C-alpha cells in the first residue's frame, strides 16, 4: 500500500465565477519518496496541497475523489479524526512562513502549543523536543525565545520546517518553502530538507517553480497545467524525455544550471481561465505542435514508458492498441 494515494481528486472554488482548480488529479506517494509538483502560477498547485491536508476553506471545496493516507480516506474524515493525524502523521509547510507563524508568540511558545494540542507532554519533554527540532534544521536553540520578526526569512522557513517535524511525521507537504529566500539560501535549505528526509525517512510532496531544484531533489515529478496533471513520472525520465509539449516548454523556460547557455524560448501566452474550460486540450491554444483535433478532443493520460502524458500525440498507434 502506498503511503498516500490520491484518486480523481477534484476541487472547486464556488465563487461568483466557479472554477475547477484541481481536476481529476491522481498520483501516489511511496514511503520516503520525494514528489515534486511544478507548473505555472495559477495552475492549482497550492489548492492541491491544501486539499491533500484537508486545509481548504470556503469558497474552495473538495467535490470529488479520495486522498488515502495509509489506506484511510482523509476526504471523508471528521475534523476530530483529522486532528489526530495532522502534525503527528503528516504535516504542512506553507508558502509564506510569516503568514503561518504567529507574530506575537515566541517560537518556543508556538512549538509548545503544537505539541500540547496533539499529544501529552511534560514541560521537560516539550523543552527537549523543541531544542531537538531546532538543532535538526540548524537553528541555535536560543531562538526558542525569539519572535518570528526577530528571525531572518531563511530562519523563519527553517523554524516552520522544525515545527512540521515536531512529531516526526511520515509525510511532509511543502508549498514553495524556499521561494522567499535568495538562491544561495534556497539551495542550502533544500540540501538540508533532503538530508533530514534521508535521516528521518519521511516522504515529501513539494511544490516549486524552480525546475532545477526538482531536478536535483525529487524522485517523482508531477507537471500541472490548468488544474490537471499533464505529465507524471520519474523525475529523470521527465527531464530527459519530456513527453508533453507543456513539460518541454517548462523545461526550455529554465536555464540549465551546468549545461551550455541556450536562449530561453519559454511558452508564449498564459494559462486559460479555469472558470471557462474549453472543449479540447487545455494547452492547445499555446501548443506549438497541436493537431486540428486537439481543439475538440480532451486527451486522457496516456502511458509513455514509465511516465504518463495527457497529449493526443502520445496516443498509442492503432496497431499497438489491437495487440
Ligand atoms: N479564493 C479563490 N477564489 C476563487 N478562485 C480561486 C481562489 N484561489 C484560487 N482560485 C483559483 O484556483 C486556481 C489555482 O490557484 P492556486 O493558488 O492553487 O495556484 P498555484 O498553482 O498555487 O499558483 P502559484 O504558483 O501562483 O502559487 C487559480 O487560477 C484560480 O482560478
Ligand atoms: Mg501556490
- Do 148 and 212 share a domain, yes or no? no
| 54 in a structural domain | yes
Average pLDDT over residues 254-275: 73
> What residues are neighbours of ligand 2 (ion), with CB under 5 Å?
46
Give the dihedral sign, CA 267/248/42/38. Answer: negative
Residues 305 and 224 in one domain: yes
Same domain, 142 and 53: no
For residue 220, how far is its CA from the centre of ligand 2 (angstroms)? 19
Report the C-alpha gap between 106 and 170 in whole angstroms.
27
d(C-alpha 265, C-alpha 286), whole Å = 13
259: domain CATH number is 3.40.50.300
Radius of gyration of the chain (CA): 21
66-124 pLDDT, tens digit each: 999 999 999 999 999 998 899 999 999 987 655 678 889 999 999 999 999 888 899 99
Ligand 2 centre to CA of 97 (Å) is: 13
Same domain flag for 146 and 291: no
The whole-number average pLDDT for the span 167-187 is 88
Give the pLDDT score at 315. Answer: 95
Show the DSSP H helices in 253-317 as ranges: none
Compute the distance between CA of residue 247 and CA of residue 233 in angstroms, rounded to an integer.
Answer: 12
pLDDT at 323 over 60: no
Cell numbers found for residue 165 = 517535524
Report CA(45)–ligand 2 centroid distance (Å).
5
Instruction: Report the pLDDT value the prediction gives residue 23, as an integer from 0 to 100.
Output: 96
Cα dihedral 72, 76, 82, 87 in deg (nearest 10): 60
Same domain, yes or no: 176 and 160: no
Rounded-to-integer distance, Cα 75 and Cα 92, Å = 16
| Atom 14 of ligand 1: nearest residue by CA position | 44
Domain identity same for 217 and 116: no
Residues 6+ apart with CB under 8 A from 71: 1
Is the Cα torsion angle 88, 89, 94, 97 positive or negative in sign?
positive
Instruction: Pick the ligand that lies closest to the CA of residue 56.
Output: 1
Distance of CA 265 to the CA centre of its chain: 26
What's the pLDDT tens digit per position in 18-59?
899 999 999 999 999 999 999 999 999 999 999 999 999 999
Instruction: Please classify residue 47 by burial: count the beta carbons closer than 10 Å to its beta carbon, then call 0-12 exposed, 13-18 middle and 19+ buried.
Output: buried
Does residue 12 fall inside a structural domain?
A: yes
Domain end (from 146, 166, 186): 166
**Cβ pair 276, 289 in contact under 8 A:** no
Q: Are residues 309 and 210 in the same domain?
A: yes
* All cell numbers assigned to 48: 492541491
Reduced DSSP (H G I as helix, E B as strand, rest coil) percent helix, strand, coil of the chain, to 5: 40, 20, 40
Q: Are residues 309 and 225 located together in one domain of the fold?
A: yes
Specify the higher pLDDT residue, 136 or 233.
233
The ligand 1 atom nearest the CA atom of 39: 21
Q: Do 60 and 134 lie in a common domain? A: no
Q: Is residue 66 part of a domain?
A: yes
Nearest residue (CA) to ligand 1, atom 22? 46
Probe ligand 1: pick from 45, 99, 271, max atoms within 8 Å of CB? 45
Q: Is the CB of 19 under 6 A from ligand 1?
A: yes
Helix (H) / strand (E) containing 82: helix 79-85
Instruction: For residue 119, count other CB atoms closer than 10 A to its CB.
Output: 15
Among 166, 183, 217, give the residue marking a domain's end.
166
Is the pLDDT at 291 greater than 80, yes or no? yes
The answer as to whether 217 is a domain residue is yes
Cα pseudo-dihedral 67, 8, 282, 41, rounded to 10: 0
Residue ending a domain, among 125, 143, 166, is: 166
* Residue 136: inside a domain: yes
Under DSSP, is residue 24 helix (H, G, I), strand (E, B) or coil? strand
Residue 95 lies in a domain: no
CA 204 – CA 33 distance, rounded (Å): 6
CB 204 within 8 A of CB 171: yes
- Is 62 in contact with 13 (CB distance < 8 Å)? no
Assess whether 140 and 211 both reside in one domain.
Answer: no
65 falls within a domain? yes
Atom of ligand 1 nearest to the CA of 274: 31
Nearest ligand to the C-alpha atom of residue 174: 2
Sign of the torsion formed by the C-alpha atoms of 238, 239, 245 and 251: positive
Cα distance between residue 147 and residue 140, in whole Å: 14
Q: Residue 235 is part of which domain span?
A: 4-89+170-322
Q: Are residues 47 and 124 in the same domain?
A: no
35: left (phi over 0), alpha (psi -120 to 50) or beta: beta
Residue 94 lies in a domain: no
Which pLDDT score, from 0 to 100, does residue 321 have?
A: 56
Counted domains in the chain: 2
Helices (H), 30-167: 45-52, 79-85, 97-100, 107-118, 123-136, 153-164
H helix runs in 137-271, sequence order: 153-164, 183-200, 211-217, 235-240, 245-252
**Ligand 1 centre from 123 Cα, in Å?**
41
Lowest mean pLDDT among 60-69, 134-143, 245-254, 289-298: 245-254
Are 24 and 87 in contact by the 8 Å Cβ rule? The answer is no
What pLDDT sits at residue 181?
78
159 with 180, same domain: the answer is no
Amino acid at each position: 500500500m502506498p503511503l498516500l494515494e490520491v484518486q480523481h481528486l477534484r476541487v472547486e472554488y464556488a465563487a461568483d465565477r466557479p472554477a475547477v482548480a484541481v481536476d481529476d488529479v491522481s498520483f501516489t506517494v511511496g514511503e520516503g519518496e520525494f514528489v515534486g509538483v511544478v507548473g505555472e502560477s495559477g495552475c492549482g498547485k497550492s489548492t492541491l496541497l491544501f486539499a491533500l491536508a484537508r486545509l481548504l476553506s470556503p469558497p474552495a471545496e473538495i467535490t470529488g475523489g479520495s486522498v488515502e493516507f495509509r489506506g484511510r480516506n482523509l476526504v471523508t474524515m471528521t475534523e476530530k479524526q483529522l486532528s489526530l493525524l495532522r502534525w503527528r502523521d503528516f504535516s504542512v509547510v506553507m508558502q509564506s512562513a510569516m503568514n503561518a507563524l504567529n507574530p506575537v508568540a515566541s517560537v518556543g511558545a508556538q512549538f509548545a502549543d503544537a505539541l500540547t494540542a496533539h499529544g501529552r507532554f511534560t514541560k521537560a519533554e516539550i523543552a527537549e523536543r523543541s531544542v531537538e527540532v531546532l538543532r535538526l534544521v540548524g537553528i541555535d536553540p536560543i531562538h526558542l525565545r525569539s519572535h518570528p520578526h526577530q528571525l531572518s526569512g531563511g530562519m523563519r522557513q527553517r523554524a516552520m520546517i522544525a515545527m512540521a517535524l515536531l512529531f516526526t511525521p511520515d509525510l511532509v507537504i511543502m508549498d514553495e518553502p524556499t521561494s522567499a529566500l535568495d538562491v544561495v539560501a534556497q539551495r542550502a535549505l533544500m540540501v538540508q530538507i533532503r538530508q533530514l528526509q534521508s535521516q528521518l525517512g519521511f516522504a515529501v510532496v513539494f511544490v516549486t517553480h524552480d525546475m532545477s531544484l526538482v531536478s536535483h531533489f525529487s524522485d517523482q515529478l508531477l507537471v500541472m497545467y490548468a488544474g490537471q496533471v499533464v505529465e507524471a513520472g520519474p523525475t529523470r525520465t521527465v527531464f530527459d524525455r519530456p513527453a508533453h509539449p507543456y513539460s518541454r516548454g517548462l523545461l526550455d523556460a529554465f536555464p540549465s544550471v551546468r549545461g551550455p547557455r541556450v536562449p530561453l524560448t519559454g511558452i508564449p501566452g498564459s494559462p486559460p481561465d479555469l472558470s471557462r474550460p474549453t472543449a479540447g486540450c487545455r494547452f492547445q491554444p499555446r501548443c506549438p505542435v497541436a493537431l486540428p483535433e486537439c481543439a475538440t478532443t480532451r486527451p486522457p493520460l496516456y502511458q509513455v514508458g514509465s511516465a504518463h502524458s495527457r497529449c493526443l500525440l502520445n496516443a498509442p498507434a492503432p496497431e499497438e492498441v489491437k495487440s
